[in-house]
């Protein structure tokens, strides 16, 4: 965690400590329809991926899941979104840093990318499984914020739960197979991420 994120974390902790006596119950959040995300985004055309198996869905315990492949010419990306209406014991957003190694994908490199002039950030991973490599982008969406750091996302959730009564959050993940250079896959994944984010964040912010 860099200095800026550390400062944010300290401020959030102070706010949480000051407001622990003001905990509110989560207000009803309208059902999130991830299927409302367009199949056509810029030059990208999407198709639904095969459904996850029942055991995986039980493990994830998400209230809504979207799993699609988007194509633009010869380029393809995989988009996965999991929305959780409320965080509770045993049910919370699953970090790709934990899930990907469990399926055989081992991180080779990781970095955080800032999006524009805002404080929104996403995480980039380069992962390998046997001879296959992929570039992964992901972030936690917490009430209009994009947070790359798992601990910071949980602090924001706790802050918003105490201050505003909301406990919902989502994770998005973009996966780009490396078929040429890693740099080309990075550009491809980042371009798609910038294209789809304006559509998806408004679904639950």
Range of the domain at 34: 3-203
Yes or no: say if 76 and 70 are a contact pair by the CB < 8 Å rule. yes
Q: Pseudo-torsion of CA 147, 34, 73, 127, nearest 10°?
A: 40
- Rounded to two decimals, the pTM is 0.82
Structure-token match 């380069």, residue found: 126
Q: Pseudo-torsion of CA 12, 109, 55, 84, nearest 10°?
A: 20
CA distance 184 to 148: 22
Q: pLDDT digits over 99-126, tens only? A: 899 889 999 999 999 987 667 899 999 9
Q: Pseudo-torsion of CA 54, 60, 61, 62, nearest 10°?
A: -110
Number of domains the chain contains: 1
Q: pLDDT digits over 47-71, tens only? A: 999 988 998 888 888 889 999 999 9
Maximum average pLDDT range among 1-5, 83-87, 139-143: 139-143
- Residue 169's nearest CA partner among 38, 90, 63 is 63
Q: With bands split at pLDDT 50, 70 and 90, how would you rate the model's confidence at 91?
A: low
Q: pLDDT digits over 153-170, tens only? A: 888 888 887 877 777 888
């Amino acid at each position: 965690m860099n200095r800026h994120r550390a400062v944010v974390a300290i401020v959030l902790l102070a706010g949480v400590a000051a407001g622990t006596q003001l905990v509110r119950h989560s207000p009803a959040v309208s059902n999130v329809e991830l299927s409302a995300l367009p199949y056509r985004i810029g030059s990208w055309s999407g198709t639904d991926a095969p459904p996850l198996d029942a055991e995986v869905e039980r493990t994830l315990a998400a209230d809504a899941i979207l799993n699609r492949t988007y194509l633009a010419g010869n380029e393809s990306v995989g988009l996965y979104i999991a929305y959780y209406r409320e965080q509770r014991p045993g049910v919370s957003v699953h970090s790709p840093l934990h899930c990907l190694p469990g399926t055989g994908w081992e991180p080779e490199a990781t970095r955080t990318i800032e999006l524009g002039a805002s404080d929104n950030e996403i995480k980039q991973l380069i992962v390998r499984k046997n001879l296959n490599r992929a570039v992964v982008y992901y972030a936690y969406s917490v009430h209009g914020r994009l947070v790359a750091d798992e601990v910071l996302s949980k602090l924001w959730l706790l802050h918003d739960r105490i201050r505003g009564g909301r406990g919902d959050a989502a994770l998005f993940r973009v996966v780009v197979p490396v078929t040429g250079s890693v740099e080309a896959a990075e550009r491809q994944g980042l371009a798609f991420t910038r294209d789809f984010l304006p559509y998806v964040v408004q679904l639950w912010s």
